[in-house]
Structure 1
Amino acid sequence: MCGIVGAVAQRNIVPVLVEGLRRLEYRGYDSCGVAVLSNGEPRRARSVERVADLDAQVRETHLSGMTGIAHTRWATHGAPVTDNAHPIFSRDTVALVHNGIIENYETLREMLKGKGYEFVSQTDTEVIAHLIHSMYRGDLFQTVRDAVRQLHGAYAIAVIHKDQPHTVVGARQGSPLVVGVGQGENFLASDALALAGSTDHFAFLEEGDVVEIGLDGVKIVDREGLPAEREVRVVTAYGGAVELGPYRHFMQKEIFEQPRAITDTIPQADHFDPALFGAGAGDVFAGIDSLLILACGTSYYSGLTAKYWLESIAKIPTQVEIASEYRYRESVPNPKALVVVISQSGETADTLAALKHAQSLGHKHTLAVCNVATSAMVRQTEFAFLTHAGTEIGVASTKAFTTQLVGLFVLAVTLAKMRGHVNAKQEAAYFGQLRHLPAALNSVLALEPQIIAWSEEFARKENALFLGRGLHYPIALEGALKLKEISYIHAEAYPAGELKHGPLALVTEAMPVVTVAPNDTLLEKLKSNMQEVRARGGELYVFADADTRIVSEDGIHVIRMPEHYGPLSPILHVVPLQLLAYHTACARGTDVDKPRNLAKSVTVE
């Protein structure tokens, strides 16, 4: 969601800015643009197409400059049209890009109109540009510091001014911004990935920071206006991770990368140890009496899955909340609970806000399960378990989800061991299952040709139901989410036992019903639910473990899973659902990696 790139150099910086935007395309966007100071004047190019179209404009107009900013916009205020695309100008003097939402923009807009400013966009961003222009007295850094004090909401901004040709000023509050440090040149970006190839030295700004980058250095002040030192870290994990290789889409590549990602995420030790979550975790874990899991979207479903593990294996009460709802309701805080936040990027705005809210209520002990070691979430929690999914480009999460499940399973067994519910023999068995998981996943991936055949049927449908029971109900939810995200087929998931309490009214021969059927204690109950579907003429598509004795017949289509995998079965069963969504989307001709209206990293509320 919305990407920022900025640079000051002694060379034409436009290719770096455009390449940065290209690297941020995976986040999702509706428009894009670049602005530079050229011969003392701000010039820009904007597009409501892809970055490739912007690049063609830049080349055609010979846009060049040594100081500039660029942006990919995911529309919030105002439609995705050129006038609303960033960079936004104020009186051909100030150029600005912005991630986030300004909550008091209407008040500021009326105030600025009273000062004679004309608004040409419907964005909340334009008020920031005009505000900075109205306050400028020769020092852009000081002006931005003063201006952001008037902003309510979340933002990351980068600003240039025609009178300061070798300066970019940035600020952040509730939205990420990093500084890239080079030799005689410096950079800003919303994601370090944007600057891969330009620098591998990064400083991660904190909440309320304002930064000035120039040719010779970087100046940062904190929210109090005091000089701030932010550690410069070497980040080299981006490399060629964004290369598509032989795959048709990044989503397909990332589905097939899951065995390797899970191998990299499984702890190297042969036992479950609280030290895996950080120094001092053992003492804290020993004192907790419950868990509160906060997450959004796919990460929320990983939390729902973990609840089953935590309560059945560790015998510890667990509550799972949608982060965007948790912070807006009256809740009963428990200082002895461990708050677990889950996010692929570690920059999910709703989850970060929920974390902050939980801490404000007195929740002292916090743990992040996250894929990005340098993210705000990891920096703001007491403990962390880092997944090793690598860069995930496709908007619809795949390997980030399964590696989150691995991390949460490790947490569940670790807590169970500490609480005396897992003995040494059981611990070894759990670790053996984890170690075998990548091989089991490879067997599941071999089912792709059968799933492709199903996808050709699904591509002609407009609605689908997904059913699961117990531990696999969250997996049904995730399967439905994947299908609707990328194929635009309306899909819903239910616990199979809920069919007769309403959803069965929807079942006809035109409604495919996808069923997750592991060989567990609820199998016979699930079979009864399947018969309820068949009795109403519904078509069943069943992913069944080998020993379930569910066979293909009229109205029942079965793909047999290689093996039953006990408590880790959800990780195996979600993969064919990912493949079904992927190949159905391909058959329908949708933009798989960049589905409409969606963004990869949701950095606004």
Structure 2
Amino acid sequence: MCGIVGAVSHRNIVDVLVEGLRRLEYRGYDSCGFAVIDDADVHHPIKRARTTARVAELAEQGKDFHGTLGIAHTRWATHGKPDTQNAHPHISNGLIAVVHNGIIENYEILRAQLKAAEYVFTSETDTEVIAHLVHQQYVAQGQQDLELAVRAVLPKLHGAYAIGVIAQDNPKTLIGARAGSPLVVALGDKEHFLASDALALAGRAHSMMYLEEGDVAILKAESIQIIDHAGQIAQREQKPMPPQSESVDLGPYQHYMQKEIFEQPRAIGDTLANISSFGPELFHADVSEWNQFDQILILACGTSYYSACVAKYWLEDIAGIPTQVEVASEYRYRTSVPNVKTLIVVVSQSGETADTLAALRHAKALGHSYTLSICNVGSSAMVRETKWSFLTKAGTEIGVASTKAFTTQLVALYLLAVSLSKRAGRMTPESEKQLLRELRHLPKALHAVLALEPQIIAWSNAFVKCENALFLGRGMHYPIALEGALKLKEISYIHAEAYPAGELKHGPLALVTEKMPVVTVAPKDELLEKLKSNMQEVKARGGKLYVFADQDTDIVSDEGIHVIRLPEHYGNLSPILHVVPLQLLAYHTACMLGTDVDKPRNLAKSVTVE
């Protein structure tokens, strides 16, 4: 979602700001901008560039800018439509410039107060309130101390924020502050930086520090000072900068999403590398504590929620441990009955998902001490705030619609299920070896599924003519149907819904006509015969079935039934294989419709606001 980059130096830092924004493009945005001040310019004017186009256009707009101090931003619209007037940075009276991630919940009250004080608003955003408040304080204090002005404003802001602030008459100081949204400080050689994601500054600095809740950072080219929420000077642990992300060269692929679909064998292989047995060590857990919890609650959003729904089947069937799954954004807003012997599992690609982080903190406040994160980013807030963690090795995922992050989450959750099965004494040494062999075969099996792409492209020709689609699955493949429907609507904008196949006759069957394609996930499992009956219900009403079947399912192509066969049945690991053709179906349908596959409208990669 929204991204922040800031820098203070003795050299021109425009390229640092622009390159930082380029690295944050994968998060999703609908406008971007930067503002700089040049210490060598005697009048120190704030120069600003903003656009609703991509960062490349912003770079062209600001190619002649020069600045030794600056802030930059990619915006995903919350308050106010995506246009240039609402793009960050926001400037108050030519004196104060601000960039902001998060949401100020009481902005309407503050806006009314500022209007009464004769401040003029030029945007619809909550962020402009911050700029005017800082200006008001700064001027009231005689424009002597930008840090004190910012600190005086922060208690008035209700909600979540990470901000970067600069002042026209103070060209050597950059202020950062955070509460509820991530912000890091990076240390260079006589230059210092701010960012919402450390990867924006990889290769620019030698070390970094995570700001803690309520911190204010005062950055100058030669120094950094951090003030904590109590107003005291604080020390934060310095860590090495993360390595620069792997090449973003598309190679033979048309879009990042396609590239990432085809990277799944590698991503799963990397996630499973060096795993030779199952147990608490995979999750960095202490054995004595590992044996204390007796049920599981998984909290997640979006695609990660669907991976958790699959995991519920695994955990209860394989490990015999009671498991609940909740949408993170709902969990903390209801009255729940905490059981301190529950393991709280949070699942997130970025580890910064605001709803999931808030749900984790709520669970901990209720007394839950056993917490585990499954995440793709080791430096994320989620990993830092849980007792235990498992890092997937998907690598940077640029396409907004998740693919390889989802399948590696499934692998991690399967490892949790089999590790708890071992804890429960349900696993023999021989069965453990067999499970390891099956896991190691996954990349090869996925390559065989990816080879079905030409057949799936042929199906996409039919889907581009449709306005609606149904997806069906049973058992642990019902969440896979949900994920398939989500992918189709995310990137093609075709309305799609998923149901447990047995629910057809309880309502959705009324929607079935020859114009409604019905995508069916049909593995060879104990529910196959029931699923065939559900398919006959569709066929009898003139519906058109598109079936992803395993070998030896006795489902054959016929009038009204189109069948693509997966190379093999894979037992409990079948959901990991069956989701891949659904990803490809959504991708190629979107390509034929000409949508922006990697950056679908209104969506963001990392959702850092509620």
Q: Report the TM-score when normalising by structure 2.
A: 0.97
Distance 1:344 1:242 in 2: 18
**Contact in 2 for aligned 1:285/1:415 (Cα 8 Å):** no
Query: Superposed, which structure 2 residues align to 1:343-492 within 5 Å?
Result: 343-492=348-497
Query: Superposed, which structure 2 residues align to 1:182-581 within 5 Å?
Result: 182-280=188-286, 282-581=287-586
- For 1:287, what is the secondary structure of its paired residue? coil
Q: Please say which of residues 286-295 and 174-183 is displaced more in the overlay.
A: 174-183
Match of 2:20 in 1: 20
Letter aligned with residue 27 of structure 1:
R
Distance 1:295 1:552 in 2: 38
**Contact in 1 for aligned 2:348/2:375 (Cα 8 Å):** yes
- Matching of residue 593 in structure 1 with residue 607 in structure 2: no
Task: Give the Å deviation of 1:160.
Answer: 0.4
Give the unaligned 5+ runs of structure 1: none
**Contact in 2 for aligned 1:241/1:391 (Cα 8 Å):** no
- For 1:240, what is the secondary structure of its paired residue? coil
Letter aligned with residue 93 of structure 1:
L
Distance 2:62 2:384 in 1: 38
Alpha-carbon RMSD across the aligned residues, in angstroms, is 1.1
Distance 1:578 1:238 in 2: 28
Letter aligned with residue 55 of structure 1:
A
Distance 1:172 1:242 in 2: 30
**Contact in 1 for aligned 2:548/2:563 (Cα 8 Å):** yes
**Contact in 1 for aligned 2:74/2:88 (Cα 8 Å):** yes
**Contact in 2 for aligned 1:294/1:323 (Cα 8 Å):** yes
Q: Percent identity?
A: 68
**Contact in 1 for aligned 2:202/2:241 (Cα 8 Å):** no
Alignment counterpart, residue 141 of structure 1, candidates 138, 143, 147: 147
Match of 2:106 in 1: 104
Letter aligned with residue 77 of structure 1:
H
Match of 2:69 in 1: 67
Distance 1:346 1:227 in 2: 28
Distance 1:318 1:525 in 2: 25
Distance 1:394 1:237 in 2: 20
User: CA-to-partner distance for each residue in 1:284-322, whole Å, 9 max, x for gaps?
Assistant: 221111000000000000000000000000000000000
Task: Give the Å deviation of 1:243.
Answer: 3.2
Q: Please say which of residues 44-53 and 389-398 is displaced more in the overlay.
A: 44-53
User: CA-to-partner distance for each residue in 1:69-96, whole Å, 9 max, x for gaps?
Assistant: 0111111111112111100001100000
**Contact in 1 for aligned 2:299/2:328 (Cα 8 Å):** yes
**Contact in 2 for aligned 1:585/1:592 (Cα 8 Å):** yes
Count, aligned residues: 602
Match of 1:46 in 2: 50
- For 2:485, what is the secondary structure of its paired residue? helix
Letter aligned with residue 183 of structure 1:
D
Task: Give the Å deviation of 1:431.
Answer: 1.1
Letter aligned with residue 472 of structure 1:
H
- For 1:313, what is the secondary structure of its paired residue? helix
Match of 1:83 in 2: 85
- For 1:319, what is the secondary structure of its paired residue? strand
Distance 2:302 2:533 in 1: 30
**Contact in 2 for aligned 1:299/1:342 (Cα 8 Å):** yes
**Contact in 2 for aligned 1:305/1:474 (Cα 8 Å):** yes
- For 2:470, what is the secondary structure of its paired residue? strand
Letter aligned with residue 156 of structure 2:
Q
Distance 1:564 1:238 in 2: 39
Letter aligned with residue 106 of structure 1:
E
User: CA-to-partner distance for each residue in 1:425-448, whole Å, 9 max, x for gaps?
Assistant: 221111111111011001111111
Change (3 A) 1:364 1:236: closer
Distance 1:480 1:317 in 2: 28
Distance 1:369 1:350 in 2: 15
**Contact in 2 for aligned 1:392/1:399 (Cα 8 Å):** yes
Letter aligned with residue 148 of structure 1:
L
User: CA-to-partner distance for each residue in 1:239-294, whole Å, 9 max, x for gaps?
Assistant: 334332332111111111111111111151321020111141x2222111100000
**Contact in 2 for aligned 1:241/1:390 (Cα 8 Å):** no
Letter aligned with residue 195 of structure 1:
L
Distance 1:553 1:28 in 2: 42
